[in-house]
């Protein structure tokens, strides 16, 4: 970016800009974790252990990912210790922020993960069932580290509903209503996954993402449906997302983080290069 000229003539009295810098849209690879190992197949060259989340995380960080999300799908409580150990190893290894989610249900769970170096945690079903958890977490640790994950599906009536337990259980609550309540209770960010779009590679759900992003004063991370680089441009421009998350297209190297960012930059979308 050619912003180096006139750097001594910044108009500090300008009501708006110094010189055109802007908060970047974030690209977030998501790693699914089971028993401390990455789940989805990974197709990287020069990777010694494709199942090691730390090694994969380090590669993404070097490639310019802005943040990472680790989603733990470990079924049993006994394995939670494995997760906190993993978080500790990740926190030592990477120099960008990361979020840990999956099965988090208490202040104690969160305390352990943050103490091991997680920057944020995400809660989903437990927060829906006990919304006071959001108040507790934001009071205890600050809203900045509380991400509310919502799995949502558009039904035939045209409305988007909240689903729980990884999308297996339908509720009668509308996505926007829950997101709004959650923000009022202290959620600092929304991770919005459209079940209609997830896995289709046909693009993100632009309308619900846009609705949440324009009407809530917290960042919205769009998730589900990424298949091409154009899909990311669409979700930033039309969906007004603050960040976009994807898993398999990054893991299988269908799209690389550096080429995606170069493309978005070409589309005049502010990204960290």
Active site residues: 32, 151
- Can you spell out the DSSP letters for 126-193? HHHH-THHHHHHHHHH-GGGEEEEEEEEE-TTS-EEEEEGGGTEEEEEEHHHHHHHHHHHT--EEEEE
- Cα distance from N-terminal residue to C-terminal residue, the chain: 10
Q: How far apart are CA 106 and CA 114, in angstroms?
A: 13
What pairing do the DSSP bridges indicate for beta strands 26-34 and 243-246? parallel
Q: Taking contact as CB under 8 A, which single stretch among the options 34-42, 90-98, 124-132, 163-171 is the one that binds other proteins? A: 90-98
7-36 positions binding other proteins, by CB under 8 A: 7, 10, 12, 14-24, 26
CB nearer other proteins, residue 195 or residue 206: 206
DSSP category for residue 25? P
Stretch that binds other proteins, among 30-38, 45-53, 196-204, 265-273 (CB under 8 A): 265-273
Query: Cβ closer to other proteins: 163 or 250?
Result: 250
Number of residues that bind other proteins (CB under 8 A): 51
Smallest distance, Å, CB 45 to other proteins?
Answer: 23
Considering only 56, 182, 212, 218, the residue that binds other proteins (CB under 8 A) is: 218
Task: Give 177's contacts (C-beta < 8 A, 6+ positions apart).
Answer: none
Nearest to 179 by CA among 220, 119, 231, 236: 220
Binding window for other proteins (CB under 8 A); candidates: 68-76, 197-205, 233-241, 258-266: 233-241
Residue 250's nearest CA partner among 29, 27, 56 is: 29
Nearest to 190 by CA among 166, 211, 172, 165: 211
Indicate the angle between helix axes 132-141 and 175-185, nearest 10 degrees.
40
- Our CB check for other proteins shows the closer of 35 and 55 to be 55
- In terms of CB distance, is 236 or 250 closer to other proteins? 236
Residue closer to other proteins, measured from CB, 96 or 262: 96
Contacts with other proteins, 40-79, as mask; x by CB under 8 A: ---------------------x----x-------------
Footprint of other proteins (CB under 8 A): 1, 3-4, 7, 10, 12, 14-24, 26, 61, 66, 91-92, 95-97, 114-117, 119, 141-145, 188-189, 213-214, 217-219, 236-237, 240, 242-243, 268-270, 272
């Amino acid at each position: 970016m050619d912003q180096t000229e006139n750097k001594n003539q910044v108009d500090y009295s300008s009501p708006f800009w110094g010189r055109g810098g802007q908060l970047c849209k974030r690209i977030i690879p998501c790693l699914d974790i089971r028993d401390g190992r990455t789940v989805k197949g990974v197709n990287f060259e020069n990777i010694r252990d494709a199942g090691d989340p730390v090694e994969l995380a380090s590669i993404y960080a070097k490639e310019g990912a802005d943040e990472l999300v680790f989603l733990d799908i470990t079924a049993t409580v006994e394995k939670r210790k494995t997760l906190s150990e993993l978080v500790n190893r990740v926190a030592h290894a990477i120099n960008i922020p990361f979020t840990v989610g999956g099965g988090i249900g208490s202040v104690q769970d969160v305390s352990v993960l943050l103490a091991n170096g997680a920057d944020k945690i995400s809660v989903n079903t437990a927060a829906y069932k006990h919304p006071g958890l959001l108040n507790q977490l934001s009071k205890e640790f600050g809203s900045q580290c509380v991400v509310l994950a919502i799995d949502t599906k558009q039904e035939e009536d045209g409305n988007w509903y909240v689903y729980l337990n990884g999308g297996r259980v339908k509720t009668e609550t509308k996505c926007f209503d829950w997101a709004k309540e959650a923000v009022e209770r202290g959620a600092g960010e929304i991770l919005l996954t459209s079940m209609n779009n997830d896995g289709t590679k046909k693009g993100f759900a632009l309308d619900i993402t846009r609705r949440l992003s324009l009407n809530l004063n917290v960042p919205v991370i769009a998730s589900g449906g990424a298949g091409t680089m154009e899909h990311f441009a669409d979700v930033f421009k039309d969906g007004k997302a603050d960040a976009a998350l994807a898993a398999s297209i990054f893991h299988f190297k269908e799209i690389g983080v550096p080429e995606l960012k170069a493309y978005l930059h070409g589309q005049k979308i502010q990204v960290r290069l």
